[in-house]
Amino acid sequence: MSIATVEKPTAAEPPRRSITNQRNASDKRFRAVVTSGAMFAFVVLALIAGFLLFRGYEVFREFGFGFLTSSTWDSGTGESLQGASYGVAAMLVGSIIVALMAMIIALPFVIGTSLFLEYYIGKKIRAVLVSILDLMAAIPSIIYGLWGYLVLMPHAAGWASTINKYFGWIPIFKVDVKNFDASPFISALVLGLMIIPIASSVTREVYSRAPQDQISAAYALGGSRWGALKAVVLPFGRSGLIGGMLLGLGRALGETVAVLLTLNLVFKVKFQVLASAGGNVASLIASRFGEAGPSEIKALMAAGLVLFTLTLLVNFGASIIVSRSAKVSQ
Amino acid sequence: MENDDINLVVNATNTNAVTGGNVLDEGRVGTNGLQTKGIHVWFGKHHVLEDISLDFPANSVTGLIGPSGCGKSTFLRVLNRMHEFIPGAAMAGEVFLDGEEIYGPKVDVTAMRLKVGMVFQKPNPFPSMTIAENVLAGLKLANIKVQDKDSLLEECLTRAGLWKEVKDRLKLSGSSLSGGQQQRLCIARALAVKPKVLLMDEPCSALDPASTLKVEETIVQLSADMTIVVVTHNMQQAARVSDFCAFFLSDGGPGQVVEADRTAVIFSSPSDQRTADYVQGRFG
């Protein structure tokens, strides 16, 4: 009997029942609260983007793609965009250079800190050191900036001079004028220090979840501690490391005050990282906003839109990389 | 005298346990293989093993049997110092490998572990490595240079009974294999550094019966030229694969060896009633 019904392909399927459920009042209220909270975050993000687009639109209409490729910043009469000339190329390139250098400087410290805290010290000391590290992440960036300007710069300029002396033949370490203050190198040192705590805290968390049975396997095969870490923990934690570093990159790209204090803004695209000239979109906005006329304000809004888009792209790329490498390490 | 009772290798002067005294090759006794003397282990204040003295003759399989929580796995870890990673663990006593103390002050622990390999309860291949890389992982970890990696790879996988199944997919991830294959991959990985002793901690408890059978065949074949110590909860397995058996028991206090003898004796005519009860499944 049952076999015969299965063989009949044309038999009409019975209608599928839809899921019905009478939600009670408290569930409805909670749902409304949660939904509106989530929506609020998206609405704010959309409003910021809309605001920047609205204020910067005129600038893009006036200068077009040239706003991204030109490096002149001249407000002209200051009243209208006619006669003025705005371009963020130098600032954009400078932002990326400083952020990337900060990442390179921070990377070995992030790996070292994370491994040390997870695998080289006891529980009690770890708890103390972790809270100190978290505290470092909470230090306001103006403090980092002041310290970088007053304490680090006099020394770092000397280091830069030494690097220039021995590695000056490499194009990026060349300088035209022997002034090493307020260079992208020094800004990157400060930024690198700033992102170590936040990147380490993400990385350490992932390293701590490395499977113990695989670590045991590495030891039982005659592996040293470093061998076990290299064979198991580093591959396992790769996604965490990338995620942590990109979180740091997001912060480094948007950092304003610390860079403002330690970088000499120059409207010219330069790749000489030791020279006292660099660019940074966020610092540009902060330094110009106070005395900007109506037309420059519009240009600064447009620059803000560029920065906003760049950070969004980086974070978007970060989440793709993290999810992809997380799959690999499973 | 009590120590002699729990000595696994019974020499000529001790007629206590081995009936007939016909099995043990004189050449096996002495400094070859693995010997333990008066092993105690503590986890913090908790005394988990008390005065274990067992000898594991070269080229034989010894099964460690006993109910859960009697310290078998802990004892196994003492044999290659893996218990040192357990916080609060401490031990007393001596372990000799081919006559040399592995707890001696001048011993390099990582070098010692190359001679005493280990296979764990749960298959644990490195997921970030391919099958081939997994087998050769020990060489890389210990910085050992090998001329002909391909033949070593084939040799280890063949000895672990896995070569035919994986020879066409050596470049795939180790975690793409089934549980039983993964466990044999772990055995191949342990073999690649040419250990003299292989410690196995319930190697089949996570495997299906067919895979279990394959691993057991592998164990028997390997014992032709290496010393194997295997912890097992499976009485049939102990009877099938082991030459000698040691029965561990803890009556609330620290674990002790009740009886150790040739497997046939343990299963047919044990001298202690508790052993008889356990191997016949009356408790534990």
pLDDT of residue B3: 43
Q: What is the average per-residue pLDDT within B154-167?
A: 91
pLDDT of residue A7: 56
User: Which residues make Cβ contacts (< 8 Å) with residue B275, sequence separation at least 6?
Assistant: B247, B258, B259, B266
Residues B65 and B233: their CA atoms lie apart, in Å, by 6
Beta-bridge partner residues of B200: B119, B230
CB contact under 8 A, A220 and B120: yes
CB contact under 8 A, A231 and B122: no
Is the distance from CB of B41 to CB of B280 less than 8 angstroms? no
Is the distance from CB of B268 to CB of B20 less than 8 angstroms? no
Q: Where are the domains of chain A?
A: 30-64, 89-328
CA dist A55 → A60, A292, A297, A307, B213 (Å): 10, 14, 9, 14, 74
Structure tokens at A71: 């490096």
**How large a percentage of chain A has pLDDT more than 70?**
94
CB within 8 Å of chain A, chain B residues 46-105: 80, 82, 85
Of the candidates A224, A231, A328, the beta carbon closest to that of B126 is on A231
Of the candidates A222, A224, A330, the beta carbon closest to that of B127 is on A330
pLDDT in tens, B8-41: 443 333 333 333 333 333 444 445 789 999 999 9
Judging contacts by C-beta atoms under 8 Å, the chain B residues touching residue A219 are 82, 85, 113
Q: What is the average per-residue pLDDT within B121-132?
A: 92
Chain A within 8 Å of B159 (Cβ-Cβ)? no
Among the residue ranges A12-21, A113-122, B57-66, B183-192, the one predicted with the least confidence is A12-21
Q: Is the domain covering A89-328 a CATH 1.10.3720.10 domain?
A: yes
Chain A within 8 Å of B117 (Cβ-Cβ)? yes
CA B39-B44-B45 angle, to 5 degrees, is 85
**How large a percentage of chain A has pLDDT more than 90?**
34
Please give the helix or strand (H or E) that residue B93 lies within, else none.
Answer: strand B89-97
pLDDT of residue B115: 92
Please give the helix or strand (H or E) that residue B40 lies within, else none.
Answer: strand B34-43
Is the distance from CB of B271 to CB of B282 less than 8 angstroms? no
Domains and CATH numbers, chain B: 2-279 (3.40.50.300)
Judging contacts by C-beta atoms under 8 Å, the chain B residues touching residue A235 are 126, 128
pLDDT of residue B26: 40
pLDDT of residue A9: 59
pLDDT in tens, B196-253: 999 999 999 888 888 899 899 999 999 998 999 999 998 999 999 999 999 999 888 8
Q: Across the A/B interface, how many CB contacts are shorter than 8 Å?
A: 73
CA dist A226 → A115, A119, A209, A221 (Å): 10, 10, 17, 13
Residues A271 and A283: their CA atoms lie apart, in Å, by 18
pLDDT in tens, B69-89: 889 999 999 999 999 988 889
Chain A within 8 Å of B179 (Cβ-Cβ)? no
Residues B21 and B275: their CA atoms lie apart, in Å, by 20
Is the distance from CB of A181 to CB of A153 less than 8 angstroms? yes
CA dist A104 → A87, A163, A188, A243, B22 (Å): 28, 16, 9, 15, 70
CA dist A73 → A63, A80, A290, B225, B261 (Å): 12, 14, 16, 80, 91
Q: What is the average per-residue pLDDT within B146-171?
A: 91
Site from A212, A215, A219, A221 to mutate, B interface, most B CB atoms within 10 angstroms: A221
Low-confidence ranges of chain A (pLDDT < 70): 1-10, 78, 325-330
Helix (H, G, I), strand (E, B) or coil at A291: coil
pLDDT of residue B31: 56
Is the distance from CB of A319 to CB of A327 less than 8 angstroms? no
